Structure 1
Amino acid sequence: MADENISDLIEKYLKEILENNETVKIRRSEIAGLFDVVPSQINYVINTRFTIQNGYIVESKRGGGGYIRIEKVHLLDDIDILNTLIDAIGNRLTKRDSETIVTTLYNNDLIDRREASIILAAVDKNAIDLSDNELTDILRANIMVSILNRLKYDR
């Protein structure tokens, strides 16, 4: 535990809650108080660790009655989630984000280990290096969107 930073601890705490519940509704200030951090630290953890690419949908409402709702989604159960994932990719996709998406697909049993390896090879910089990082990220996004669309319609 000495190697874990506060963000890791907050993430672990929220994921433990999500193990027993499909959805968790929290107040930023309460969690910040629990870990003795500023509320922006909670925002950081939510924005970086609980993304659609990681298999979560987050809804946030600010103000006096504000809350954050985190829902663990099961990609197999909902094509809308694949559509949301496609929308989240946008026009560019980094290698790191593509790896996160593949991990999420694998963890949700949408693809097996071999398919994950093939997808990662297809979006690897060595395979699609255009000597221009922006063009490489655009091509990577196009490949990943094509794969996700195939997963949606080919069952």
Structure 2
Amino acid sequence: MRNISDIIEKYIKEILDSSDIIKLKRSELAEKFQCVPSQINYVLKTRFSIERGYVVESKRGGGGYIQVIKVRPVTDAELIDEMIGLISYKVTENMAESIIVHLLEEDVISEREARLMLSAIHSLVLEMDIPLRDEMRANLLKAMLRSLTYSR
């Protein structure tokens, strides 16, 4: 059985299929899924990040809402360039995974390419202290993304 985060994510993505911009009320979503509002925050933060191709804006107050925007790049090369731009001199494993998942969801890379990329950036493969590991991961990921740009 899938967990509540997966169910909430699926629901929001289904709405986004019909429109690239949606406005949601956190309290209404929490009520619909019988969860606490912080669960909605968690899903939005972890599953609808810029690395995954979304912009989430929040308006607080009585009439507050959450706006989720699906960013649609014009070309694969443009998307790859945007992802390279998100990577600074270091990158966490979670952020790197989000970038790879986004490229997979946009059909820029195949499932096989995604698995290879995920394997290369995994913490167990990069056995070194954290600051150096995140720098190495950033360099590897940027190199892989650049090679995708030239091979297409």
Moved more, 143-152 or 13-22: 143-152
Aligned counterpart in structure 2 of residue 46 of structure 1, from 30, 34, 44: 44
Cα shift at 1:117: 4.8
* Aligned amino acid, residue 8 of structure 1: D
Aligned counterpart in structure 2 of residue 142 of structure 1, from 121, 124, 139: 139
Q: Does 1:69 align with 2:67?
A: yes
- Structure 1 CA distance, aligned partners of 2:106 and 2:55? 15
Q: Is the 8 A contact 2:80 2:145 kept in 1?
A: yes
- Structure 1 CA distance, aligned partners of 2:77 and 2:21? 19
Moved more, 135-144 or 80-89: 80-89
Q: Is the 8 A contact 2:76 2:108 kept in 1?
A: no
Q: Could you say which residue in structure 2 is the equivalent of 1:104?
A: 102
Q: Could you say which residue in structure 1 is the equivalent of 2:3?
A: 5
Q: Are the structure 2 counterparts of residues 26 and 79 from structure 1 closer, same or farther at C-alpha, using a change threshold of 3 Å?
A: farther
Q: Are the structure 2 counterparts of residues 37 and 125 from structure 1 closer, same or farther at C-alpha, using a change threshold of 3 Å?
A: closer
Q: TM-score, normalising length from structure 2?
A: 0.75
Moved more, 38-47 or 144-153: 144-153
* Aligned amino acid, residue 93 of structure 1: V
- Structure 1 CA distance, aligned partners of 2:39 and 2:21? 21
Q: Are the structure 2 counterparts of residues 142 and 50 from structure 1 closer, same or farther at C-alpha, using a change threshold of 3 Å?
A: same
**Aligned-pair RMSD on alpha carbons?**
3.0
Q: Is the 8 A contact 1:102 1:120 kept in 2?
A: yes
**How many residues were matched structurally?**
152
Give the % identical residues. 45
Cα shift at 1:83: 6.0
Cα shift at 1:14: 0.9
Partner deviation per Cα, 1:84-124 (whole Å, 9 max, x = no partner): 64454444323343233112112212234454355345434
- Structure 2 CA distance, aligned partners of 1:122 and 1:99? 11
Q: Are the structure 2 counterparts of residues 89 and 64 from structure 1 closer, same or farther at C-alpha, using a change threshold of 3 Å?
A: farther
Counterpart of 2:62 in 1: which secondary structure?
coil
Q: TM-score, normalising length from structure 1?
A: 0.74
Partner deviation per Cα, 1:113-147 (whole Å, 9 max, x = no partner): 45435534543446643x21321112212332454
Cα shift at 1:80: 7.4
